[in-house]
Amino acid sequence: MSNVLYFNIMKKIILLIPLIVLGTYYSFSQTETLNKAFKALVFINGQNKLINPIRSVLKQSDYNLFIYEYNAFFNDIEKNALNYLNSRLPQDSLDYYLNEVEVLLKNINVDNVDPHVAIGTIKSRIKNLEGVPKDLKQALLYFKFYNNPGGAISNGFYEDFLFANTKNRGRKFSIKLPLFMEDRTKNSSLALSNQILNYHSIMDDHNFTIAASYVDGKYRKYSDEELEYISATNEEIRRLIPENARLITSRAVTGKNYKGILVEFDLIQEYLGLSMDTKLFYLLVFEDGQFFIFNFSYGNNPMDSNQVSLDKFRDKYHKLMLSVLNTLQFY
């Protein structure tokens, strides 16, 4: 079997995985993450079949180092994907689905795969998942950094985003966004005229969004004293957040070539008779002639009937937000 044929088979098997899960009812958000978990497991278990051919061409010391690096990168993905499946599926259902995966993997024959090519391919994946399709890469990285999503940024799995307003001489900025998130900025149903970016991911079975927008107008930079006053004055902050929001905290912050106010609040929104809890962080940056809002939000999916409590996720997502904001730089 050629290497090209092997990877084509892997792609076809991965495409079959959604059909396994969608045959049973789960919430919209759970179904998406269940599919990610099965995709990750199929990929890793298929890739594991290359280990024996690789062992045959490496010295023991080189093989030990190779396996160490391999496990260090992929073991977390497999462990977190299995833990997720165990927490969401009854044992009999999980056993059935894993058996289906095993049957699918029997289609892969690696006898004729060149071990040296396999070594190079896997090493490139360990570094940056080179050559892995985007949706599969998102699934792998989602479970790689499941417990610490902010680690995607510090480990180099991010996308650089640069904003430059061509309509005027407003400020430019750059920011790094985790690769496990989906870019929805150009989605016509979501994009707003003043929207700069909109990245989304289903995390812990609910929505997580990083967005940014700006408004041109008679704005100006504030002094440190003014920012401290605004952040400490509830009446001033409430003018900058939705009317029905519950303000939690606000404070003045200083970043790379910018100063602003970081606000935390929550909203209870009604949708089709359901009360949906949404937690938000706003970074408000005032510039001469422009006002920027960086929005980090997480909340229940309106398509899900089981609305879960979000309080236990606050620290996890707060760390993710800070890992992203630490890369924000104005020019």
Lowest mean pLDDT among 145-149, 164-168, 298-302: 164-168
Q: Where in the chain is the domain with CATH 3.40.1000.10?
A: 151-330
Is the pLDDT assigned to residue 199 strictly greater than 90?
yes
3-class state of residue 179 by DSSP: coil
pTM: 0.86
Q: Is the dihedral of CA 295, 40, 44, 145 positive or negative?
A: positive
CATH number assigned to the domain covering 151-330? 3.40.1000.10
Which pLDDT value is given to residue 78? Answer: 96
CB-based contacts of 88: which residues, under 8 Å, 6+ apart? 26, 30, 33, 34
List, for residues 299-317, the tens digit of each pLDDT value: 876 655 555 667 788 889 9
Do residues 250 and 264 lie in contact, with contact meaning Cβ atoms separated by under 8 Å? yes
Instruction: Give the per-residue pLDDT at 19.
Output: 43
- DSSP, res 311: G
Q: Tell me: the pLDDT tens digits for 22-54? A: 445 566 677 888 889 988 998 998 899 889 889
pLDDT the model gives residue 255: 94
Per-residue pLDDT band for 20 (boundaries 50, 70, 90) equals very low
Place of tokens 């985007």: 134
Phi, psi torsion values for 11, nearest 5 degrees: -65, -40
Q: Confidence band (pLDDT; 50, 70, 90) for 243?
A: confident
Distance, C-alpha 194 to centroid of its chain: 23
d(CA 116, CA 111): 13
Residue 242: its pLDDT value, please?
85
Q: For 149-177, what is the mean pLDDT?
A: 87
Question: For 53-67, 143-157, 232-246, which range has the lowest pLDDT when averaged over its residues?
Answer: 232-246
Least confident of 102-111, 137-146, 282-291: 102-111
Please state, rounded to an integer, the average pLDDT across all residues of the chain: 84
